[in-house]
Amino acid sequence: MTTATHADEFVSLLKSLRAVRQFVDKPLPAAAVRDIHEVIRWSGNASNRQEFQVLWIDDRATLRQLADQKGYVKHLAGAAAGAVIVTWMEGDELNAFDEGRIAERIMLAAHAHGIGSSIGWFVGEGRAGAAKVLEVPAGRTVRTAISLGYPAEGALRGARRKPLGELVRRV
């Protein structure tokens, strides 16, 4: 009998992360929220400038207002909490790269606690609308949102994946 290594457990956690867009009405425990916040704090970013802020929203009315903005954010409406990443670094590419890093770490930290999540983007006038709802100062970018909550029945579907050889090629 082989004992699973720490690497095996960690890789298994990474492989099991799924997007969850339907949630049960259950608040997130304070300990899990603290862990997610600490992961945000320690997430890597360009030159360690930390030119971002994550707005944590657990007010259901605000989550519904955000879900009504233009973009791919409807899943915020039923979430127990939402995290909106606000950036102010020059260069849209760096912002998007750092937002992706932070977003995935939020999702993985939540997943470690059995909390589901999904990433979304505000687009077009949805960015300005979300900034207004959240009272974000001018000159900052509001684009990425993550919904968080415990998965509803049937929310986790089978994950279809292409064969590894179609996705990874040695050169």
Contact criterion met (CB below 8 Å) for 119 and 105: no
Instruction: Report how far residue 13's alpha carbon sits from residue 125's, in angstroms, rounded to the nearest whole number.
Output: 36
Q: What is the CA radius of gyration of the chain?
A: 17
pLDDT at 158: 63
Establish if 161 belongs to a structural domain: no
For residue 75, give its domain range: 18-153
Neighbours of 93 (CB within 10 A): 9
pLDDT digits (tens, 9 = 90+) for 84-142: 999 986 666 667 788 889 999 999 999 999 999 999 999 999 999 999 999 999 989 99
pTM of the full structure? 0.88
Domain count of the fold of the chain:
1
Tokens of 8: 């095996």
Establish if 4 belongs to a structural domain: no
Establish if 165 belongs to a structural domain: no
Establish if 169 belongs to a structural domain: no
Contact criterion met (CB below 8 Å) for 45 and 100: no
- CATH no. for residue 55? 3.40.109.10
